[in-house]
Structures are given as structure tokens and as C-alpha cells.
């Protein structure tokens, strides 16, 4: 069995996966409000709660797989954790101040609890290590960018990789032959152009703020807005709050959950209607841009909370793209997924397949961990 730990700043998600296979018994849980007055005091306590729940001290574990958000330029693949790897993850903290320290705390506590098994770090950025230089490079002063490690790293990589593989299986074709646009639309959202199983362009950048409109993040902005607001007196912490919490759908119409946005829009709410339209417009721009990056396109793949569940987002994002062979079949699109399986929502014979593929980041981390140790 492989234990997967996703240790966030205030929550710990855990799951026991049977030998990296989807069908085995999978026990899972979530400890929330770490460090808050009504929650557990710290990550050590959270992991003790998970350990009690799973009988971890005696569980027949093969390994522990850890989600780590930022691998910088150093970590291009899952990596067995030792002290040097921990130190390197700590050094990357300035690139992901909300995530890497929490990921590392989870690793350290888990290593003390189960020093007898290998611990593997699986990085959100690793899948995007293949971005070609023209896609990874910002047109900034080259010396300054090099000094600060400023480049496009990309995120959600574990999900993009997993979903691309499952889409190929659904289509019954080798991943190596396929050009895909994968749209991971959850609370955070990102698009990736995948050529032959490799990420060649992705919408999140140096941080997970760039690209698509998200629940509480704005995605693409004119950077001049930030310097303008700084001169108007907003400091870095205030801008961080604006960009992380108070923008995106929440900033536009007051709610971040797409279900609430769609309900308000259906009731005629003008702000929710504009928010939905802004979200869709951005998504369409990325589909068009990534089609151009890829040239031939074989499939558009929707995943994560919004991508898997919102038929109206899928339909609106791809509406009117028939000239590119992209079509959505209304009945297939509206039909439910039937226990969360991958499915086709384009009409038979369409030049470009449109698919809905449920993501499963914990299972993907277990698979990558098992594969590394094999």
C-alpha cells in the first residue's frame, strides 16, 4: 500500500492506495483547520490524527508519496526524499511561500513517523519541465530573470499528466501520437498544450496566478495594474490578498463556486452573467492560442470540479468552433458521467474529440510513486 499525503497550509489530505491500483480498497480522510483555534494545533497533530485513523504505525506500507507544489528547475521528476532533498524543497519556499513550507512540514513529520519506508516527493511543476524555451521564457531583462529564477514553471502538472494519459486510453490511441489541450478547471484553473505526452505550453506561470480566470484569482492581468496600485498606496501583502483571494469569480460577482455563479446567472444577476462571460472568453482565447501552438489538434479534455461537472461551461467555451472541427454534442454533454468515468462529449466522427476525464491527483501521486520505486 502507498500512503499519499497532500499537506497544505491549513489542511492535510491523506489516502491509502492499494499498490498504486485504482480498484483496491482506498481509505482516505481530511484534517482541516490546522493551526486555527477550533482545529488541531499543527501538522504533527494532523498527521497523528491521520495515523490513528489509518493504523499507520503498523500498516504494511511500501512507500509514502508526498505532493510538493514547487520543484523549481531542479526537480524534473518524482524524487526519493533524503535530507538534501528536504533542504532543496525548503530553499524553493520563496517561489511558493504558501505551499512548499506546508508540504515540507508534512514530509518531515511523516518521515519521523515511518522512517522504515521510502518517501517520494511528486512535484506539481515536474510535468512542465519539458516546456520549450520560447514557452518558458518571459521577455524580461535576461540577467535579472536568471538571477531570480523567473520563468514559466507551470502547475497542476500531476493532474495534466494523469488526465492526458486517461484521455489517450479513452480514445484508444497512443499518447505519443496525440496533440491535446487539457483544461483543468477547479478552484484553481490551468490549460496545458500536450504534444505526444509532453507539456509544451501551460497557462500558469512563475506562480499559479497567471492564465485562466479562477475562483478567487484573476489569471492574466496587465502587470502595469500592479505597479499603478502600488503607487496608489497598496502594499505587497494587500496585493497578494487581492490576487489570491479577492479576484476571479469572487471578485467579479461575490461567489467563487461555479454552481453559485451559474445559479445567479440563471436568475438574471448581471454581475454573475458578466463573470461567467469573462471566464468563458478567457478560456476560448486559450483554446485558440493552444490550437495554434499545437498545429494539429486531436482532443480537448475537460477535468476538475468545473470541467467535469459544468456542461454549460464546456458548451460555451467551445461554441462556434466547428470550422476547426471542434464540436460538442448537446445530449452527450448534458448526460451525467455515470460513476465518474471518462467520456466523449463530441459527436461521432468529429475531427477533434472533446472529452471529460475525471482527475485524481492522489491516485496519480500513488502511481508515480510506485513507478519510481519499481
Cα distances (angstroms) measured from residue 251 to each of 260, 263, 321, 339: 14, 17, 29, 33
Work out which of 158, 310, 346, 369 binds ligand ADP, going by CB under 6 A.
310
Q: Does 306 bind ligand ADP (CB under 6 A)?
A: yes
- What DSSP letter does each residue of 189-227 carry, written as one string? EEEEEEETTEEEEES--SSTTSSS--SS---S--HHHHH
Residue from 11, 207, 273, 309 touching ligand ADP (CB under 6 A): that is 309
Our answer to whether residue 124 is catalytic in this structure is: yes
Residue showing the smallest CB distance to ligand ADP in the complex? 305
Under rule CB under 6 A, which residues in 179-238 are in contact with ligand ADP? 186-188, 215
**Concatenated DSSP letters of 286-299:** HHHHHHHHHSS--E
Check binding of 11 to ligand ADP (CB under 6 A): no
Residue span binding ligand ADP (CB under 6 A) among the ranges 51-59, 95-103, 205-213, 301-309: 301-309
Q: Residues 23, 83, 124, 319: which is the catalytic one?
A: 124
Contacts (Cβ under 8 Å, ≥6 apart) of 209: 217, 218, 219, 243, 244
Contacting residue, 118, 165, 197, 305, with ligand ADP by CB under 6 A: 305
Q: Does 257 bind ligand ADP (CB under 6 A)?
A: yes
CA 36 – CA 40 distance, rounded (Å): 7
Q: Which stretch binds ligand ADP (CB under 6 A): 8-16, 47-55, 98-106, 256-264?
A: 256-264
Q: Is 254 in the site for ligand ADP (CB under 6 A)?
A: no
Can residue 358 be called a binding residue for ligand ADP (CB under 6 A)? no
Element (H, E) at 64: strand 63-68
Residues 226 and 231: their CA atoms lie apart, in Å, by 9
Task: State the helix-helix crossing angle for 361-373 and 157-171, rounded to 10 degrees.
Answer: 90
Smaller CB distance to ligand ADP: residue 259 or 281?
259
Q: Which of 134, 213, 208, 126 is CA-nearest to residue 161?
A: 126
Beta bridge partners of 344: 355
Between the alpha carbon of residue 230 and those of residues 98, 149, 217, 227, 235, the distances in Å are: 22, 23, 18, 5, 6
Question: For residues 327 and 362, which CB has a smaller minimum distance to ligand ADP in the complex?
Answer: 362
**Shorter beta-carbon distance to ligand ADP: residue 20 or 215:** 215
Residue 154 engages ligand ADP in binding (rule: CB under 6 A) = no
Return the residue of 168, 258, 365, 370 that touches ligand ADP, per CB under 6 A. Answer: 258
CB of 310 to ligand ADP, least distance (A): 4
Q: Is 259 in the site for ligand ADP (CB under 6 A)?
A: yes
- Angle at CA of residue 146, ends 134 and 120, nearest 5°: 85
Residues of this chain that bind ligand ADP (CB under 6 A): 186-188, 215, 257-259, 304-306, 309-310
Give me the active site residues, please: 124
Amino acid at each position: 500500500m502507498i500512503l499519499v499525503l497532500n499537506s497544505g497550509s491549513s489542511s492535510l489530505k491523506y489516502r491509502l492506495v492499494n499498490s498504486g491500483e485504482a480498484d483496491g480498497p482506498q481509505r482516505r480522510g481530511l484534517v482541516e483547520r490546522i493551526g486555527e483555534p477550533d482545529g488541531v494545533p499543527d501538522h504533527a497533530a494532523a498527521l497523528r490524527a491521520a495515523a490513528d485513523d489509518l493504523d499507520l504505525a503498523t500498516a504494511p506500507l511500501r512507500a509514502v508519496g508526498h505532493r510538493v507544489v514547487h520543484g523549481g528547475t531542479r526537480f524534473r521528476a518524482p524524487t526519493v526524499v533524503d535530507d538534501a532533498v528536504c533542504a532543496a524543497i525548503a530553499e524553493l519556499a520563496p517561489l511558493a511561500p504558501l505551499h512548499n513550507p506546508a508540504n515540507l512540514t508534512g514530509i518531515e513529520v511523516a518521515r519521523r513517523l515511518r522512517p522504515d519506508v521510502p518517501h517520494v516527493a511528486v512535484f506539481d511543476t515536474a510535468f512542465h519541465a519539458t516546456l520549450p524555451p520560447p514557452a518558458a521564457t518571459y521577455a524580461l531583462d535576461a540577467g535579472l530573470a536568471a538571477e531570480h529564477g523567473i520563468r514559466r514553471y507551470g502547475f497542476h502538472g500531476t493532474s495534466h499528466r494523469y488526465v492526458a494519459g486517461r484521455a489517450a486510453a479513452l480514445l484508444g490511441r497512443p499518447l505519443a501520437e496525440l496533440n491535446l489541450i487539457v483544461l483543468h478547471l477547479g478552484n484553481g484553473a490551468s490549460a496545458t498544450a500536450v504534444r505526444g505526452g509532453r507539456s509544451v505550453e501551460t497557462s500558469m506561470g512563475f506562480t499559479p496566478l497567471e492564465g485562466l480566470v479562477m475562483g478567487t484569482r484573476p489569471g492574466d492581468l496587465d502587470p502595469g495594474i500592479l505597479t499603478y496600485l502600488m503607487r496608489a498606496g497598496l502594499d505587497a501583502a494587500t496585493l497578494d490578498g487581492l490576487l489570491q483571494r479577492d479576484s476571479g469569480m469572487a471578485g467579479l460577482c461575490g461567489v467563487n463556486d461555479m454552481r453559485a455563479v451559474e445559479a445567479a446567472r440563471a436568475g438574471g444577476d448581471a454581475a454573475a452573467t458578466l463573470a461567467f462571460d469573462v471566464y468563458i472568453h478567457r478560456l476560448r482565447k486559450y483554446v485558440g492560442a493552444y490550437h495554434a501552438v499545437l498545429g494539429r489538434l486531436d482532443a480537448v479534455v475537460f477535468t476538475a470540479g468545473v470541467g467535469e461537472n459544468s456542461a454549460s461551461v464546456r458548451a460555451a467555451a467551445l461554441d462556434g468552433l466547428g470550422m476547426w472541427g471542434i464540436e460538442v454534442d448537446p445530449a452527450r454533454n448534458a448526460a451525467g458521467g455515470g460513476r465518474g468515468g471518462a467520456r466523449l462529449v463530441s459527436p461521432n466522427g468529429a475531427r477533434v474529440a472533446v472529452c471529460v476525464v475525471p482527475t485524481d491527483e492522489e491516485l496519480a501521486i500513488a502511481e508515480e510513486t510506485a513507478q519510481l520505486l519499481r
